[in-house]
Amino acid sequence: MYSMSRIGEYIKEERKKAGLTQEEFAFRSGLGLRFVRELEQGKETVRLDKVNQALAMFGCEAVPGKKER
């Protein structure tokens, strides 16, 4: 299972590869700018449905799994 910081890093990297600003990504994904910023910063209390909405932009989703040690 990935930590929120790893997911946030992935989103940020993929967003930049796509040439999108946080504002553009938020608009295209239907998410709020504040949420995108918090997600990229690795905030632990973000909603999983919204995380999956962001990941869907890159053909991915967060799924349950064993926690990494």
pLDDT given at position 44? 86
Name the band, by pLDDT with cuts 50, 70 and 90, for residue 68. low
Rounded to the nearest 5°, which phi and psi values hold at 20?
A: -105, 140
- Helix runs in the chain, H state only: 4-17, 22-29, 33-40, 48-56
pLDDT of the residue at 2: 63
| Encoded tokens for 20 | 């999108």
Query: pLDDT by residue (tens digit) across 2-52?
Result: 688 999 999 999 999 999 999 999 999 999 999 999 999 999 888 889 999
**Directed axis angle between helix 48-56 and helix 33-40, to 10°?**
90
Task: Please say if the pLDDT value at position 69 is more than 90.
Answer: no
**CB contact at 8 A, 50 and 61:** no
